[in-house]
Chains A and B, each alone.
Chain A
Amino acid sequence: DTGVSQNPRHKITKRGQNVTFRCDPISEHNRLYWYRQTLGQGPEFLTYFQNEAQLEKSRLLSDRFSAERPKGSFSTLEIQRTEQGDSAMYLCASSPPHADTQYFGPGTRLTVL
């Protein structure tokens, strides 16, 4: 399978707990994006990596959020001290060099109780 994969697909956690999501982009895609989507809304940009460098973070990404892409391949998104407002679908997308089409994974749905 050569698509973007995300794990876990669903996560239910209690308020105050930490969670970590993983995204595996399509092989050789150097650009990787994280978005967040709540019900009835379009996705909102969170952060962008080019290779291993995190080049932009949205103001939406509070200091409780951190993302890494240590070897320029997979990426992780960690949320510390989760709040109910963090409940959303977290989407990962990747793009190849010199092309703009973004290919999305299936998303991780987070529910904070």
Chain B
Amino acid sequence: KQEVTQIPAALSVPEGENLVLNCSFTDSAIYNLQWFRQDPGKGLTSLLLIQSSQREQTSGRLNASLDKSSGRSTLYIAASQPGDSATYLCAVPSDAGNNRKLIWGLGTSLAVNP
């Protein structure tokens, strides 16, 4: 059974720092891995999706890497800003044919202080 773990659970940093969020998964046979952002009381915004054949994906100040063999992904945020404050979740689809229901971590709650 696939399990997803995220560390740290919470992170507080001063503005401008580069930071790394970690995600690990127990079953390395994944199709892809997706990183999401969630603001308090709101829905989820997809940030990056890395296919199983890829090593990394970049979008602006965000870079996500994937190491399937070790069951790990990292989300790197460069030059953090107060607007980056949110909960960041990673998710992998279950191995169930066309039903790519997502298995989620609990998230990392990030606070970037001005």
| Residues in chain A within 8 A of chain B (CB atoms) | 6, 31, 33, 35, 40-45, 48, 50, 55-56, 89, 91, 93, 95, 100-107, 109
Contact = CB atoms under 8 A, between A and B. Distances in A.
A102 B46 contact: yes
B101 A45 contact: yes
A104 B45 contact: yes
B46 A42 contact: no
Contacts of B36: 104
B9 to A, nearest CB: 9
A9 to B, nearest CB: 10
B102 A45 contact: yes
Given A42-B105, A107-B42, A48 B99 contact: yes
Contact of A104 (B32, B44, B96, B105): B44
Main secondary structure of the interface of A (DSSP, over half): strand
Contacts of B81: none
Contacts of A45: 94, 101-103
Contact of A102 (B34, B41, B42, B107): B34
Interface in B57-96: 89, 91, 93-94, 96
A55 to B, nearest CB: 6
B41 A95 contact: no
Given A50-B98, A56-B99, A41 B43 contact: no
From B36, B41, B89, B96, residue with most partner A Cβ within 10 Å: B41
Contacts of A6: 43
B104 A43 contact: yes
A107 B42 CA distance: 7
B89 to A, nearest CB: 6
Given A42-B105, A42-B106, A101-B34, 4 more contacts: A6-B43, A50-B98, A103-B46, A104-B36
Interface in B15-71: 31-32, 34, 36, 41-46, 49
